[in-house]
Amino acid sequence: MNQVDYHPMWADLGLNLDTHDQLLAVLGKVYQDFFLSQPNRPKGMDYFNFVMSEVHGLRIKELIDARAAGRKVIGSFCLYVPEELILAVDGISVGLCAGAEFGTAKAEMFLPRTTCALIKSFFGFILEKVCPYIAASDMIVGENTCDGKKKSYEQFRKLVPNFFGMDLPQTKSDEGRNLLRSEYVRFARALESLSGRTITVDSLSQAIETVNAKRQAIHRLARLRSADPAPISGLDALLINQIYFYDDPIRFTQSVNALCDELEQRIAAGNGVFPKGHPRILVSGCPMAIPNWKLPWIVEQNGAVIVGEESCVGERGTRNLTSAHGDSIETLFDNLVDRYSRIDCAIFTPNSERIDHVDSMSSAYRADGVIHYALQFCTPYQMEAFQVEKTLEEQKLPVLRIDTDYSMEDVEPLRTRVEAFIERIRS
């Protein structure tokens, strides 16, 4: 696919070409081993393979072209940054990935070793000059979520152009909602002054419809995964959820729907990627950003299929729609706040909705067990893991708690745990 030489473009963006080539080489190899080698993949995955193969190529060129045409690119790290507002000023939203172990040594010049892999990763990427998305962004949004992110942004903001810090509540109280709303208004003002455009009822409702359509396509995909045999692997479904964050929303929605048409045919024909009756796993916990595919790969290599992700890269992020009803900006902002304050992220307290959601997803997708996935040093999710485990085990749903990071050094012990968990489910 890669006939075009993107090196001049990367050089213009100020990337370190040697290091960046190394990163792409690793990524290509892992993609080959984890994704392309899977048997009986749906044809509709071709589009996503293409997007992945062009993740630092064509997509970046599209961003650069769009900027040349006057559009703005906004990079962000968290679900609480409303994509609707970005689209309402005709901007482009990119979720920055931070899923690779890269530049850790440099990152640890700014961060304690006991920082989660995700934070280390986005520091590593900027310090090693290998992220074309950051380089192609007009604004980077950082939110006050966990302590790790909040405090690390104090240094990160000096490393990126045009950092916008967004405060977030920690409770779902009225005061919390008010804070969220005023921060969204402030963010909207910043977007307007960056883009020179005004957010209108029309542009915002249009943006809401666009993002809702994208979410609905993902809901459709999620429902199809409840079939036995599973029509698509968990790895492929995760990949789609990851690409959700940086692809063009309309093209993405069409591609997911086209894939779903194919999956419906597969289900009708009883055609799955694993045999019928294969143990089914729900993964719940920290976000898995590209290319963090370690755990799903281990699970699907060792006798189970993943049927859902209760994760920011997954259903926590896509579950709720924003109401597009309202004929004033105020109402539409209220709708946004309604929608976003329902995200059940572990930085909120209390957050019992999350456990209910894990539970309802397990039944909807007919999971035989739940793997709770937390990044090491991620206090919010590591803490909630105990409650998730206790509640679900009491309901006789097996739970495996895993704490890990991005390195491959613990693959063998993880494999043992996952295999033993699948043995437990089978027996």
Partner 1 sequence: MRAAGIDIGSRTVKFVVMENRDIVHEAIAYNSHDPISVARSLLSEHAFDRLTATGYGRHLISRTLGCDVATEIRAAAIGTAVMVPTGRTVIDIGGQDIKVISTGENGAVRRFEMNDKCAAGTGRFLEIMAAALSLSMPEFIQMAQTAAQPVRITSMCAVFAESEVVSQLARGCPRDELALGIHQAIAHRIAGMAQRIPLTETIVVCGGVARNTTLIRELTRVLGLPIVTPERAQLIPAIGAALLAGSF
Does residue 161 bind partner 1 (CB under 8 A)? Answer: no
CB of 101 within 8 A of CB of 406?
Answer: yes
Does residue 295 bind ligand SF4 (CB under 6 A)? Answer: no
Q: Tokens standing for 41? A: 């993949």
Shortest distance, position 68 Cβ to ligand SF4, whole Å: 30
Shortest distance, position 127 Cβ to ligand SF4, whole Å: 17
Q: What's the rounded Cα separation, in Å, for the pair 266 and 261? A: 9
Does residue 244 bind ligand SF4 (CB under 6 A)? Answer: no
- Of 259 and 399, nearer to partner 1 (C-beta) is 399
Q: What's the rounded Cα separation, in Å, for the pair 152 and 142? A: 10
SS3 readout for 42-97: CCCHHHHHHHHHCCCCHHHHHHHHHHHCCCCEEEECCCCCCHHHHHHCCCEEEECC
Q: Which of residues 275-314 bind partner 1 (CB under 8 A)?
A: none
List 312, 361, 370, 388, residue binding ligand SF4 (CB under 6 A): 312
Does residue 412 bind partner 1 (CB under 8 A)? Answer: yes
Shortest distance, position 351 Cβ to partner 1, whole Å: 22
List 33, 46, 353, 423, residue binding partner 1 (CB under 8 A): 423
Does residue 409 bind partner 1 (CB under 8 A)? Answer: yes
- Of 116 and 134, nearer to ligand SF4 (C-beta) is 116
With vertex at residue 248, the alpha carbon angle to CA 246 and CA 254, rounded to the nearest 5 degrees, is 120
- Of 364 and 425, nearer to partner 1 (C-beta) is 425
Q: What's the rounded Cα separation, in Å, for the pair 408 and 34? A: 13
Burial of 247 (0-12, 13-18, 19+ CB in 10 A): buried
Does residue 286 bind ligand SF4 (CB under 6 A)? Answer: yes
Burial of 189 (0-12, 13-18, 19+ CB in 10 A): exposed
Does residue 96 bind ligand SF4 (CB under 6 A)? Answer: no
Binder of residue 78, out of partner 1, ligand SF4, none (CB less than 5 to 8 A by kind):
ligand SF4
Half-sphere exposure of 57 (CA within 13 A, CB side): 16
Residue with tokens 């997803």: 361
Does residue 46 bind partner 1 (CB under 8 A)? Answer: no
Burial of 417 (0-12, 13-18, 19+ CB in 10 A): middle
Shortest distance, position 282 Cβ to partner 1, whole Å: 18
Binder of residue 410, out of ligand SF4, partner 1, none (CB less than 5 to 8 A by kind):
partner 1
Binder of residue 55, out of partner 1, ligand SF4, none (CB less than 5 to 8 A by kind):
none
Does residue 97 bind ligand SF4 (CB under 6 A)? Answer: no
CB of 274 within 8 A of CB of 421?
Answer: no
Does residue 279 bind ligand SF4 (CB under 6 A)? Answer: no
Q: Which of residues 102-161 bind ligand SF4 (CB under 6 A)?
A: 116, 118-119, 145-146, 148-149
Contact segment (CB under 8 A) with partner 1 among 23-31, 115-123, 339-347, 408-416 equals 408-416
Q: What's the rounded Cα separation, in Å, for the pair 123 and 107? A: 5
CB of 313 within 8 A of CB of 286?
Answer: no
Binder of residue 148, out of partner 1, ligand SF4, none (CB less than 5 to 8 A by kind):
ligand SF4
Compute how many residues bind ligand SF4; rule: CB under 6 A.
Answer: 20
List 90, 108, 209, 403, residue binding partner 1 (CB under 8 A): 403
List 60, 73, 78, 283, residue binding ligand SF4 (CB under 6 A): 78
Compute how many residues bind partner 1; rule: CB under 8 A.
Answer: 13
CB of 30 within 8 A of CB of 239?
Answer: no
Q: Identify the sign of the CA torsion 289, 293, 294, 299.
A: positive
The side-by-side arrangement of strands in the sheet containing 139-143 is: 92-95, 73-76, 139-143, 163-166
Contact segment (CB under 8 A) with partner 1 among 40-48, 104-112, 219-227, 405-413 equals 405-413
List 40, 393, 395, 408, residue binding partner 1 (CB under 8 A): 393
Instruction: Write out the DSSP string of 355-401.
Output: HHHHHHHHHHTT-SEEEEEEETT-HHHHHHHHHHHHHHHHTT--EEE
In the three-class reduction of DSSP (H, G, I as helix; E, B as strand; rest coil), residue 289 is classed as coil
Residues 6+ apart with CB under 8 A from 276: 228, 229, 270
- Of 347 and 367, nearer to ligand SF4 (C-beta) is 347
Q: In the complex, which residues of this chain contact partner 1 (CB under 8 A)? A: 393, 403, 409-410, 412-413, 416-417, 419-420, 423-424, 427
Q: In the complex, which residues of this chain contact ligand SF4 (CB under 6 A)? A: 78-80, 116, 118-119, 145-146, 148-149, 286-287, 312, 343, 345, 347, 375, 378, 380-381
